[in-house]
A and B are shown apart, each in its own frame.
Chain A
Amino acid sequence: GEDVEQSLFLSVREGDSSVINCTYTDSSSTYLYWYKQEPGAGLQLLTYIFSNMDMKQDQRLTVLLNKKDKHLSLRIADTQTGDSAIYFCAENGGGTSYGKLTFGQGTILTVHP
């Protein structure tokens, strides 16, 4: 089946930039997503990018997509302690049901004061 891979851990200092990386295998993906999960909570959609785009910026968040290499990244500028959470990359496999997603394992971001 299709696969989404992420590094499991990232630790940064407050104020630095964080970059979370993701690779996927499904070349038919039309949308790629980043979700945030705080401890014990559900998933919050942070941002998404259409597969014919290579960059999307939304305030402190920048998403970069290299479709040729099937590589997606999320950059968080000026990382704050409140950004500590698990970040999931997901893709929709080209389907029209946009909640039918394949997720990565999640990256635990720890922000140190």
Chain B
Amino acid sequence: SQTIHQWPATLVQPVGSPLSLECTVEGTSNPNLYWYRQAAGRGLQLLFYSVGIGQISSEVPQNLSASRPQDRQFILSSKKLLLSDSGFYLCAWSVGSDTEAFFGQGTRLTVV
């Protein structure tokens, strides 16, 4: 069966420090991968999605970047965190013609 892993679960980082959040998917090949952010107020916003290795689409301008170095690995990064980067970051995956998207357990990032 397919599973998705995100880590770390929680992270407290100072303003100006770098960030790297990792997401991996097991049990499937060539998934579409997504990073969402859930800020205070609870709505989810799509940040990045990827349909293949090295292919990244950005949905909103921001201080973050994403990379997909391997088929089932998706990384969210920042060179210098801002206070406004605080939030709950969720990775998700879907496959081909499947109609469903599945989410990881999320990483709660607090920038102080």
A residues in contact (CB < 8 Å) with B: 31, 33, 35, 40-45, 48, 50, 86, 88, 90, 96-106
Contacts and interface: CB of A to CB of B under 8 A. Distances in A.
Chain B interface, DSSP helix/strand/loop, else mixed? strand
B77 interface: no
B105 interface: yes
Interface residues of B, number: 27
A110 B40 CA distance: 19
In order of increasing CB-CB distance, the 9 nearest A-B pairs are A99-B101, A99-B94, A43-B103, A103-B44, A42-B105, A106-B42, A42-B103, A98-B94, A105-B43
B43 A45 contact: no
Nearest to B92: A99
A97 B103 CA distance: 14
B104 A42 contact: yes
Contact of B93 (A31, A99, A103): A99
B10 to A, nearest CB: 9
B99 A31 contact: yes
B103 to A, nearest CB: 4
30 contacts: A31-B99, A33-B100, A33-B101, A40-B106, A41-B105, A42-B6, A42-B103, A42-B104, A43-B44, A43-B103, A44-B103, A45-B101, A45-B102, A50-B99, A88-B44, A90-B44, A97-B32, A97-B49, A98-B94, A98-B98, A99-B33, A99-B93, A99-B94, A100-B34, A100-B46, A101-B44, A101-B101, A103-B44, A104-B43, A106-B43
A42 B106 contact: yes
Nearest to B4: A42
B100 A48 contact: yes
B42 to A, nearest CB: 4
A98 B108 contact: no
Among B33, B101, B104, find the residue whose CB has the most chain A CB atoms closer than 10 A: B101
